[in-house]
Structures are given as C-alpha cells and as structure tokens.
Amino acid sequence: MDSKKFYITTSIPYASRKPHIGNTYEIILTDAIARFKKMQNFDVCFCTGADEHGQKIEELAKKSGVSPAKYSAEISNIIKNIWELMDCSYDVFIKTTDVNHVEAVQQIFKKLYNNGDIYKGAYEGWYCVACESFWTNSQVGEGRCPECQREVQKTKEEAYFLKVDRYTDRLIQHINENKNFIVPNFYAEEIMNNFLKPGLQDFCISRSSFSWGVKIDFDPEYVVYVWLDALINYITALGFNLNTPSEKFNRFWPADLHVVGKDILRFHAIIWPIILMMLGLPLPKQILVHQWLLYKSGKMSKTTGNVVYADDLSRFFSVDAIRFYVLKAMPMSHDGSISYESIISTCNTDLANNIGNLTKRVCDMIYKYCDGVIPNSEYVKDEYDVGGVTLGAFKKYCECMEGYDLSEAIMQILNLARYCNKYVDETMPWALAKDENSKSALNRILYNLAEAIRFISTMLFPIAPSTAKNILKQVGAENFSFESLNSFGGLQPGVAIKKPEVLFSRIDASKKLEEIYNFNS
Ligand code: MSP
C-alpha cells in the first residue's frame, strides 16, 4: 500500500452503564480527527470498543439478576449504538470478551511471567471498585480513593505484579526525548513529576476476589486485572496474537494516536508503554489527553441527576449540532461545559445565524440573479480579498486540526463565515443587481461567496459530516477534498446549484427548554 497509515484509537469505556455525553465526546473527537486524516489521504484505521470485565460489572450484573456476560454484552451494544447514532466512522469495535482478545491476554500474561516481568507476591493495600484501581496507604487520605473520592476497600492477598523497575529509566528517557509523546505537553510534566520521578511501585495485575475477567490459565484462581486486560485491546483490535502474525497489526502498529481522558492518562503513559517494552513492541507515537465535559460547572453524576446522554440530546438537536457543540465546547487546556441553554445558543448563533444564514442568502441570490448557476468570474483581489482570507482561514484551520485543537479549528470556520456575512452586508449584491452595469461586480462577489462556502463546508466535514454535505450540495459541488482547497477558484462556473433550503432553523429557546424539561421530568 502506498498511502501513509494512521492508526487512531479511543479508550474503551466500561460496559457498566450507558455512556454519557462526556464519554461520547471522546469518540466524536476521535472520529473528527480520523475523518480529517482520511481527507489528508492517510490510510486510517480507527478502533474503539468496550471494556467488559471487572468487579463493578460483575456487581451490577448480579443486582440486575443476569450473568455478567449478558449484562456487559447488552451495554456494549448500547455503546455501539450511540457511537453509530453519533455518525462515528470507526473500523473496529473490540470487546474485551472477544475470543481472540482473551487468548492474546492469556498468552501475553504467560510470556511476561516466563520472562520474569511478572511475578507472584503479596499485596496489601486499598482498592477502589469504581476506578478498578489499587492505592497505597499514603495515597488514600481518610479511606477515600484519590481519583474519585469514593470509599476504598482494604485488601490483602497473594497477587501477580508487573515488575516495572527495569523499564522506568527507558520510559523517562522516551518521554524526555519525544516531546510530543503526550499532548498537551503539560501532562507529560505531570506524569514525570507525580509518578516517574518519585519512583514507580510494582503494579498489581491480578485479582482473586471476583471472577468476571480473563482467567490466568496457569493459575485459574486469578483473573487478570482489568486495566492490563483493557490496554491490550489496542493491539488485539488489530488481530494481534503471539502465535499467528496479523497483517493488519503489521501494517498499523504502532498506534499513531491514542485518545484518552485526563483521568486515565497514567495507565496509558506508564503501564501501557512498559507492557509494550516488555513485549519488545514499539511504543505508540502519541497520546492525546482530553479534558472533561461538565454539566454546567459540575461533574455529571447519577446521584445529582445531571447526566446528559447523547441519544436523549438527539431527540432535541440534530446529530451534527451535537457533534459541533461538544467539539466547540471543549478547549484543550481546561474542562468544557454543557448546558441545554448553551446548545440552543450555539445552534442559533453559529449554525443558524452564521453558517446557515450565509449559505441561504448567497444561494438565494445566485438563484435570483444568476439563474441558479454559479456565475462566471475571474478572481480579482479587491479590498476584501475574500480569496486570501479564505486561504488563510484554511491554513489556520489545518494547523489547529493537526494540533488536535478542534475547538480552535471550529473558530476558524466561524470567523470565515462571519467575514463572508460582513462581505455580503457591505457589498450589497441586491443593490448591484438593480444596475446592469454592475453585473460583473455582482458575479464576482457571488462567485467569491459560493467558493468561500465550498471551503467552509469542506472544513466542516470532519466535524459535522451530513451538514457539510448539504452545504456543499447547495453550491452545486459534490466531492470533498483538501487538494481542491489548494487554491481559491475551484468551483466550476455554470454549474447549477441546489434550490436553496433552510439548513438550520432558529430554535425557540423557551419552547425547546420546556420540551427538554418535560422529557427529563
Ligand atoms: N475502561 C476504561 C478505559 C480503558 S482504555 C484501555 C475507562 N472507561 S470509562 O468509561 O470510565 O471512561 C471512558 C473515557 O471517557 C475515558 O477516556 C474518560 O476519561 C472519559 N470520560 C469520562 N467522563 C468524562 C467527561 N465527563 N468528559 C469527557 N470525558 C470523560 O476509563
């Protein structure tokens, strides 16, 4: 294959409960990056899935009176359906109960045990069921998990450990030498200062107090700790197996980008690279750490009743509006927030009044003044320099997308649309249309606007795919490609445009909030 490959993954959410919009943000973000890379002609492999094992799932299944296998399979289906509803174009959906995955986890465990990278010892400490994490005495202030603040359980038992000391120096060196291994970079410092520099403890990777997990086949009283099991998904999703080579694995590993939330970075930046070193496999090229989406300013939680789900949102807003909203709402450096009021405001301000209004008014004028076909016009640079501004916006957009700052990339699209709206207001094509002598100026302005709209729709494609397609059709074009944005003027004159439609109608905020309120109560 001649095109460059790009292997991108999401974390695999626990199949314990239906994922909320925060978990769903991650797949939307990853999907937008994957689509962007495809448009840059990368041969993309995009994997996601569900983390089906662990004590929490076993307990929830018991409460529901079903087997953990049935319980987790049902939730995995729900996860998959939400991912599909959100128009996420993944290639592989892996489940940690998949036979190939289970077999590979067992093989890997045995191999590392035989190599001396895993040993059996005694474990004494604290365990947080919710986070499936072990903590030491010093880490649990007043019996609470340092991660989620829930109560932890005292645990003492024989267990298997990952012997990390042999690999710590290499990992420190790797992080120091690869400045973009973890982005945003301040997270690399956090990993270094909070975990690596103080020294790592050997990592407990087995449990015996419950059974819903991958059995350690040579010691079947134990199951593999859920995090070790889950991390291995990144290679088994490509068909990795120690016995049989997988073409897909050879083609796509190492991962180009693991997308993870900030709370699970330490597993991805420490444990996962160490496991890969132990296996003699190359490390992922980059880990993108995203922030959290909060409801207003608080953490979404079942107990406070402020959990927002993507499928519920889709009753009130289009899928593309949800995608657009969450990607815009989440900056790279701090948490983002979601509220129904701000979704409505984004729909009205950015989609209806800015992008939608621009497309509708320009297409209406082309319909009215140019017989519904793209007018013929050479690009002449005038005081507005729409061509230069559009090319500049595309360049900045690409820089933002390459740096995975999607919120900023969206701002570039919105700025361009705003500029074009201003261009319409100031050049007043409707006034020019009254004067036969201004025909060439009118054609030039409408051509520039239609061409800028083509750029806007192409840039919007990774973020809001169906909407972008509709906008592109409005200006009579069909195919998206970044190559076609190398110069301004690609739109074919003489091509009939689609009859202008309202792409986004304005939402009546109080009516919509009432509908949502009635649904939620
Ligand atoms: N199963 C593990 C991941 C294993 S990957 C080898 C897990 N699952 S999770 O369901 O708890 O979280 C899945 C992802 O959702 C994580 O990246 C987590 O950071 C992310 N989020 C959880 N709550 C979130 C928000 N409120 N906002 C954004 N992302 C959030 O951890």
CB 248 within 8 A of CB 295: no
Q: Is residue 26 in contact with ligand 1, taking CB distance under 6 Å?
A: yes
Candidate from 8, 9, 10, 11 with most ligand 1 atoms within 8 A of CB, to mutate: 11
Which pLDDT does position 379 carry in this prediction?
75
- Which helix (H) or strand (E) element contains residue 224? strand 223-224
**Cα distance between residue 515 and residue 268, in whole Å:** 41
pLDDT, residue 149, reads 86
What is the per-residue pLDDT across 279-334, written as a single tens digit (0 to 9) for each?
999 999 999 999 999 998 788 877 778 899 999 999 999 999 999 999 999 999 99
Ligand 1 atom closest to the CA of 19, numbered from 1? 10
The reported pLDDT for the residue numbered 147 is 83
Q: In this structure, are residues 163 and 117 in contact, taking their beta carbons and an 8 Å threshold?
A: yes
| pLDDT tens sequence across 114-149 | 999 999 998 888 888 888 788 888 788 788 988 888
CATH 3.40.50.620 boundaries in the chain: 2-313
Residue with the nearest Cα to atom 12 of ligand 1?
13
Q: How far is the CA of 403 from the centre of ligand 1 (A)?
A: 21
- Provide the terminal-to-terminal Cα distance of the chain, rounded to the nearest Å: 54
Is ligand 1 within 6 A of the CB of residue 292? yes
Residue 127: what pLDDT? 87
Does residue 14 contact residue 57 with C-beta atoms inside 8 Å? yes
Ligand 1 near 300 CB (within 6 A): yes
34 lines ligand 1 (CB under 6 A): no
At a CB cut-off of 8 Å and minimum separation 6, what does 504 contact?
A: 321, 347, 351, 352, 355, 356
Best mutation site among 16, 88, 263, 335 for ligand 1, i.e. most ligand atoms within 8 A of its Cβ? 263
Distance 210 CA to ligand 1 centre (A): 23
Residue 357 φ/ψ, nearest 5 degrees: -65, -40
Ligand 1 touching residue 25 (CB < 6 A): yes
State whether the beta carbon of 237 lies less than 6 angstroms from ligand 1.
no
The residue whose CA has the least distance to atom 22 of ligand 1 is: 23
Distance in Å, CA 342 to ligand 1 centroid: 23
261 lines ligand 1 (CB under 6 A): yes
CA distances from 170 to 175, 254, 394 (A): 9, 17, 40
Tell me the fold of 2-313.
Answer: Rossmann fold (3.40.50)
Find the 425 Cα to ligand 1 centroid distance in Å: 45
Residue ranges matching CATH 1.10.730.10 in the chain: 319-485
Contact 168, 277 (CB under 8 A): no
CATH architecture of the domain with range 319-485: Orthogonal Bundle (1.10)
At residue 2, the pLDDT reads: 58
Segments in the chain below pLDDT 70? 1-2
Q: Is the CB of 264 under 6 A from ligand 1?
A: yes
Indicate the DSSP class of residue 466: H
Q: Ligand 1, closest atom to CA 233?
A: 6
Beta bridge partners, 120, equal 160
Listing DSSP states for 296-344 in one string gives: TTB---TTTT----HHHHHHHS-HHHHHHHHHHH--SSS-EEE-HHHHH
| Ligand 1: centre distance to CA 13 (Å) | 6
